[in-house]
Structure 1
Amino acid sequence: MLGSTASSMMFKEGTKYLSGVDEAVLKNIEACRDLMNIVRTSMGPNGMNKMVINHLGKLFVTHDSSTILHELEVSHPAAKIIQIAAENQEAEIGDGTCFVLVFAGELVSLSESLLRMGLHVSDIIEGYSKAGKRVLKLLESADEVPCQKLEDIRNEEEVIKGLLAPLSAKQSGYEDMLAKLIAQTCIYVCPKDPTKFSVDNVRVAKVEGSGVGSTRFMKGLVLTRDSMGTVKRVHDAKIAVFNCPLEHASTETTGTVSITSAEQLKEFSVGEEKLLKESMEAVAEAGVNVVVASQTISDLALHFLERHGIFVLRVPSKFDLQRIARVCGARLLARLGAPMAEEMGHCPLVEVREIAGSKLTVFEQSEDCPSKIATIIVRGATQSIMDDIERAIDDGVNTYRALCRDPRLIPGAGATEIELAMKIRRFGEETPGLDQYAIKKFAESLEIIPRTLSENSGMDGTETVTNLYNAHQAGKKDCGVDTEGLTIGDAHVSDAVITKSWGIRLAVDAALSVLRVDQIIMARPAGGPKPPGAR
């Protein structure tokens, strides 16, 4: 819709100018509500899957919110703000994206009734800001919210408690098995200083076949690739990692070779072969018995390496090449020739193994290696199932990283949200002025988490929230939604405090950013040819 005459005269022809509560604010609220409703049904253990086909035609069947958001092409600017907040949650913590989307969407959605009551946007923003700061203070206080702390981040049983919440939401039914597996893997690769834990040290290799229950972890690095030659197993491996092609060397400058006879052509070919042979023999004489390269390995180079019984592996990925170098303690070589002693890596065993017809190359790691890496071998009937398991593992590993930074846990399953809602509503009643209405709506927004968990499980959301309030008023601070028994009870899962606090902070900031918008000015689209799909 075109704006006023004065506004349209100020901008170029074709510019859209929307302002006011009806045209800008309520339209933004509607867009945020629509985005929230898309992912809301995917929350919790009984969340529904989404079938998303991206612009490349790739199919995704998942209820992982971060994956759904990443593949959706959200164009509305207000909904885009909430999407960016959820992506920041994924980048900072690695879990809790659905919480950010749903909570921010509910905050924006409930503000509509306040606007229709006659409250000014500034009053709503002030009330939401006060409530948000109050919630973060309550989370930091162990007296206000029941909180337990992991005494030992390397204790498997304690770590499993912290991993059950994100895993049960992603892979209900496999959460116990996956939590134990991820706990063992993360504890193995955890450095002496837990705050320096790197998620990159936990790798995933997917092998189609069998069932999810056959998933296991191995110490070291596993690549879903076969070696190039006939050598498939090397003990006490001395490894050279080349970041250059293993073939005839080419000059930096362009040159022309004039050959006038067959004899000259033969001598030229023999000369090239001799140079390559000398390079490969120098590698073998240095004691190298495993060669890894990221670029081309010519048949002639492979022939000479095979004559010396050297294991040859080509790894196109630069990231995997760097991981191999880190596993064995080698340096990347940008030149073709014999490596020096300090440039070679070492592994107790490098071998090719076969699982369900798939060839895997395993680099076993010595126990004294300063940078440990472990690989989880995921099994599944289809690629889609294995992709979903990989996303769940990624969330579990990121949760372990968050617990290394802050080992505190609070009750999950909506228990903490109801407890916070009670205290924020009481805080609103004690606050004078118009801010109290927004503070009470903030408390009501927190109810969306247990309400969504119960509705996705087939329960009555209003009845569940009412029962939870009654239980918490009776002193049961850890009472949450039991999605298996379809009732309420003690929360058997726990959320990390750092995940919840970051989620609330980002959701509130995103909601306030949307509410502060009172005008939308869209420039005229650029000219030029239309994309192929629009013709």
Structure 2
Amino acid sequence: MALAFDDFGRPFIILREQESKSRLRGLDAHKANVAAGKAVARSLRTSLGPKGMDKILQSPDGDVTISNCSTALSHSPPNDGATILEQMDVDNQIAKLMVELSRSQDYEIGDGTTGVVVLAGSLLEQAEKLLERGIHPIRIAEGYEMASKIAFDHLEHISTRFEFTAANIEPLVQTCMTTLSSKIVNRCKRMLAEIAVRAVLAVADLERKDVNLDLIKVEGKVGGKLEDTELIYGIAVDKDMSHPQMPKRIEDANIAILTCPFEPPKPKTKHKVDIDTVEKFQTMRGQEQKYFDEMVQKCKDVGATLVICQWGFDDEANHLLMQRNLPAVRWVGGVELELIAIATGGRIVPRFQELTPDKLGQAGLVREKSFGTTKDRMLCIERCANSRAVTIFIRGGNKMMIEEAKRSIHDALCVARNLIRNNSIVYGGGSAEISCSVAVEAAADRYAGAEQYAIRSFADALDGIPLALAENSGLPPIDTLTAVKSQQIQENNPYCGIDCNDVGTNDMREQHVFETLIGKQQQILLATQVVKMILKIDDVITPSEF
């Protein structure tokens, strides 16, 4: 960078970007890419498992966040790998690929975001050793692809199916409890798991094995305890009645959902109104009153007993609505308005002239919920005509707990959805990875060529997950892993894993530690695909200081 001056003496800056760039090719580029991916995985490795360590993150504006910690100094602590990576300031392009990997796992499955990054880091670490031995990256990638298919099929072999119904939700609850075990809300994991399962079953189509999570709304309100969290079979809106004297409870409500305001039409900007006498003012006021009367009367004529409006209305319209005994709610957001329309079976009406009785939504109960001695209120629309829409209402002592509980509930909802799509499970605690590692190692002898080395390295990389679990639990990692792997082989028991919680048994069936089959398969496939992508990059332009 240099400072120069133009003909008029004005300074300008010359950037010599090309001089500060260097080009990495071949093996140097591969090693640089692997190092960047390993650095991201190393930062998350110690956070894996129910006893994972915390991370402290400092934002550019100075806010400090401690992950997985109830004493966080900011309002938004991360609870899993995807959230930690999103808050990290990542500049390297390969590191950004790892962030996208975690985000993809979170979007597809909702759980296993830390494990997928740790697995990818282990694969890159093993690939680095193969690169130093002179094996071509393409051969490594092909070997990893073969090994991932072996692991994928083996997961199908060791998976367990369980049948559940709306009356027997215990298997779903147990699996969701496994997801919540490593979160800050684990003291209430049983209650939150039951709420998540009931919410998913309320919106699920069990015949088609389909779940629309958009019908589940998660709301939070500061105050109370986490134990006060409840499931509302309907919609909860963070609004209250527009007038304090309006009724707070409406039975068998007919709801008019409007996107038009209770106010007279406004004149165009190029026009103006001159009022210079009392008579003109009275005439204008009477005309406004007429507009208000017509709007309210149209709502009353179609049989509406509650009006929910996207826009606001002034005090005169509000007072008139109260006098005409027509409760109203104003300033309801567009997303909430759509949820209310879905739940009540109503239609969103853009103009009063289009309001008809068949466009009204029906709800068995609309009530205003207040919170203790505070003035906070919330509107609950329950027993709706289309009751598939539900709301999980979370309470907590501060905003940090609310946000943490929301993310934890999201993970549990995704796990329950995946189990409804495919009710196959594998057992956690690293047991599935150890079993796959043994199977991949045994299958490597069937392949000739350099791919055999990559397949064996894939098996070693799978051991990275149980090693990290043992290390984070304070156990001797190598001794613990070899003991568990030997137990699996001798007893032919693929359910033996790492006893992270010191229960006294390595059998994950007895500990009720479950994971969804499709989640574990997706974890292995995503990690393999991203590592293959990184290995195929052989030309990188980076700043010289890198």
* TM-score of the alignment, normalized to the shorter chain, above 0.5: yes
Task: Give the one of 523, 526, 533 matched to 1:503.
Answer: 523
State whether residues 180 and 408 of structure 2, in contact with CA within 8 Å, keep that contact through their aligned partners in structure 1. Answer: yes
Structure 1 residues 201-350: aligned runs within 5 Å: 201-229=215-243, 230-231=245-246, 232-250=248-266, 254-336=270-352, 339-350=355-366
Which residue of structure 1 aligns with residue 493 of structure 2?
Answer: 476
Give the match for residue 64 of structure 1.
80
Paired position in structure 1 for 2:391: 375
Answer whether contact 2:298 2:352 (CA < 8 A) is retained. Answer: no
Rounded Cα–Cα distance in structure 2 between residues aligned with 1:133 and 1:252: 67
What's 2:201 paired with? Answer: 187
Deviation at 1:496, TM superposition (A): 0.7
- Please tell me whether the aligned partners of residues 290 and 311 of structure 1 are also in contact (alpha carbons under 8 angstroms): yes
Q: Look up the equivalent residue of 2:507 and give its one-letter code.
A: D
SS at match of 1:379: strand
CA RMSD in angstroms comes to 2.4
How many Å separate the matches in 1 of 2:456 and 2:120? 15
Q: Distance in 2 between matches of 1:500 and 1:85?
A: 14
Q: Does 1:35 align with 2:52?
A: no
Conserved 8 A contact 1:127-1:436: yes
2:49 corresponds in structure 1 to 44
Instruction: Check 1:45–1:17 CA distance in 2 against 1; reply closer, same or farther (3 A cut).
Output: same
* Superposed displacement of residue 251, structure 1: 5.3
TM-aligned CA distance change 1:107 to 1:192, over 3 Å: closer
Moved more, 197-206 or 401-410: 197-206
CA deviations 1:16-42 (Å, max 9, x no partner) are 342235542111111111111222222
Contact 1:464 1:487 (C-alpha < 8 Å) held by counterparts: no
What amino acid maps onto 1:512 in structure 2?
A: K
* 1:480-495 equivalences in 2 (<5 Å): 480-485=497-502, 489-491=506-508, 492-495=512-515
Report the CA distance shift for 1:280/1:523 in structure 2 as closer, same or farther (over 3 A): farther
Pick which of 268-277 and 188-197 moved more: 188-197
Aligned to 1:148: 161
8 Å contact 1:153–1:407 — kept in the other structure? no
What do the CA deviations read for 1:186-211 (whole angstroms, capped 9, x no partner)? 22332353533111222222232333
Runs (4+) of structure 1 exceeding 4 A deviation are 53-58, 251-254
Cα shift at 1:179: 1.6
Letter in 2 for 1:404: I
Q: Secondary structure at the match of 1:498?
A: helix
Contact kept? 2:307, 2:326, Cα under 8 Å: yes
CA offset digits 1:54-80 (Å, max 9, x no partner): 457663323322222222332211111
Moved more, 417-426 or 119-128: 119-128
Aligned residues: 509
Q: SS where residue 482 of structure 1 aligns? A: coil
- Determine the structure 1 residue equivalent to 2:182: 169
TM-superposed CA distance for 1:253, in Å, is 7.5
In 2, Cα distance between equivalents of 1:55 and 1:289: 50
Alignment partner of 1:466: what SS? helix
- How far apart in 2 are the matches of 1:443 and 1:154? 41
Q: Is it true that 1:159 corresponds to 2:176 in the alignment?
A: no
Answer whether contact 1:35 1:79 (CA < 8 A) is retained: yes
| Cα deviation, residue 165, structure 1 | 2.2
Give me the identity figure in percent: 27
**In structure 2, distance between residues paired with 1:81 and 1:353:** 45
Partner residue of 2:139 out of 116, 119, 123: 123
Alpha-carbon distance in structure 1 between the residues aligned to 2:186 and 2:479: 24
The separation in 2 between residues aligned to 1:262 and 1:308, in whole angstroms, is 28
Deviation at 1:426, TM superposition (A): 1.3
CA 1:255–1:523 in structure 2 vs 1: closer, same or farther (change >3 Å)? farther
Return the offset for 1:215: 2.0
Distance 1:185 1:12 in 2: 55
* One-letter amino acid of the counterpart of residue 55, structure 2: K
Deviation digits for residues 331-368 of structure 1 (CA, Å, limit 9, x no counterpart): 111113572011111111111111333312110124xx
Q: Which runs of 5+ in 2 are unaligned?
A: 1-15, 64-73
**If the length of structure 2 is used for normalisation, what is the TM-score?**
0.87
Describe the shift of the 1:242–1:55 C-alpha distance in structure 2 as closer, same or farther (beyond 3 A): farther
SS at match of 2:497: strand
Alpha-carbon shift at residue 176 of structure 1 (Å): 2.0
From the superposition, tell whether residues 226 and 52 of structure 1 become closer, same or farther in structure 2 (CA, over 3 Å): farther
Q: Does the 8 Å CA contact 2:174/2:514 hold for their aligned counterparts?
A: yes
User: Is contact 2:117-2:527 (8 Å) kept?
Assistant: yes
- In 1, Cα distance between equivalents of 2:314 and 2:350: 17
Inter-partner Cα distance in structure 2 for 1:39 and 1:158? 30
